[in-house]
Chain A
Amino acid sequence: MISLVTDIISYCCIGLGVVFWFWGTVPLLGDRSVLFKLHSLSVSDTLGSMSIIVGLLLKIPREWPLLILALISLMIWNTVLGYVLAYCSSGGERND
């Protein structure tokens, strides 16, 4: 029974992550500005990927060190990449 519940929750997490991915990637095809697309993309990619990794963690708890490392590096790197892309694409003006 427990494994059934865990399986259902893990599939829900992975499904939610895939929906986030799709929701953040579709605006890429539009004609909005770079910063608008970057915002929706980095938020949805980071949250969606984290939800997928939590789903994987529920599926195979034995490998939790590697998946926690992936979760942490995802949180840090995707967020910082979003910031660096925003800074560089806006010409790097100093907005102090």
Chain B
Amino acid sequence: MSGIPVVMLLILLIPIYEAWRDQNIWQKMLAFASISSKTSIMILVISVLRDDWMIGVVGVLILSVGNAALMLLSHVIRRLEVQ
């Protein structure tokens, strides 16, 4: 079971590399959306591994708040583009 977070971390490197490489803002936003949901699921897996549920609560909060923040950011970027 402890090998699973390592595999997840390797998969997480793909959107991180994409966010670093691509200059288009929407491609970067895609990569960050993927990073945010993947990291929150990884936090849940680690909270199951350690059987520590404060980490689990943090993972669920990051899942909700992280995606909400990305939504707000994409609306702001859209407004900036329209101007």
- Which residues of B does A touch, CB under 8 Å? 1, 4, 7-8, 11, 14-15, 17-18, 24, 26-27, 29-31, 33-34, 37-38, 41, 44-45, 48, 51, 53, 56-57, 59-60, 63-64, 67-68, 70-71, 74-75, 77-78, 81-82
Using A29-B14, A63-B56 as known contacts, say yes or no to A89 and B29 having CB atoms under 8 A apart: yes
CB-CB under 8 A from A21, the residues of chain B are 8, 11, 38
Q: Looking at the complex, which one of A14, A45, A88 makes contact with B75 (CB distance below 8 Å)?
A: A88
The verdict on A56 contacting chain B, using a C-beta distance below 8 Å, is yes
The verdict on A85 contacting chain B, using a C-beta distance below 8 Å, is yes
- Which residues of A does B touch, CB under 8 Å? 11, 14, 18, 21-22, 25-26, 28-29, 34, 37-38, 41-42, 45-46, 49, 52-53, 56, 59-60, 63, 66-67, 69-70, 73-74, 77-78, 80-82, 84-85, 87-89, 91-92
Using A28-B15, A41-B30, A52-B41 as known contacts, say yes or no to A73 and B63 having CB atoms under 8 A apart: yes
The answer to whether A78 and B30 have CB atoms under 8 Å apart is no
